Amino acid sequence: MTMRPKKKRKIGDLIWLGCFALVALVMFYGLICYPYAPIRLHNDGHYRDKTGHEFSEAQFNTFTIWEHWHWGTFVMLAAATVPLAVSHHKRRGK
């Protein structure tokens, strides 16, 4: 059983919307938890953000995990956007 083009389009749109929602959630989490990111290790051995607030190594590790999720979700959104853009372009006959 093959899917009709409209149904494929709708599934693609739902996947894209889900990816977009995930990006928005990860960004919102970062804005709440790390408003003055990035957190970096300084020469004195302390982890600090832009304003000079100190963080523990565990907090820094959590920040690093969030950073990876942040960039990963953008890549996922881009990967979901390319097929949709190509299919929209083909549908318009350009």
Give me the DSSP letters along 32-47. HH-TTPPPEE-TTS-E
For 18-54, write each residue's pLDDT tens digit.
999 999 999 999 999 999 999 999 999 999 999 999 9
Name residue, tokens 């051995």.
45
pLDDT at 11 over 90: no
Residue span of the structural domain in which 41 resides: 24-75
What pLDDT does residue 89 have?
64
Domain membership of residue 89 (yes or no) is no
**Number of C-beta neighbours around residue 19 at 10 A:** 19
Q: Is residue 65 part of a domain?
A: yes
Does residue 81 lie within any of the structural domains? no
Domain membership flag for residue 56: yes
Number of residues written out for the chain: 94
Q: Domain total for the chain?
A: 1
23 token code pair: 């990006």
Kindly report, residue by residue over 44-88, the tens digit of the pLDDT: 999 999 999 999 999 999 999 999 999 999 999 999 888 877 776
Q: How far apart are CA 61 and CA 52, in angstroms?
A: 17
Tell me the pTM: 0.76
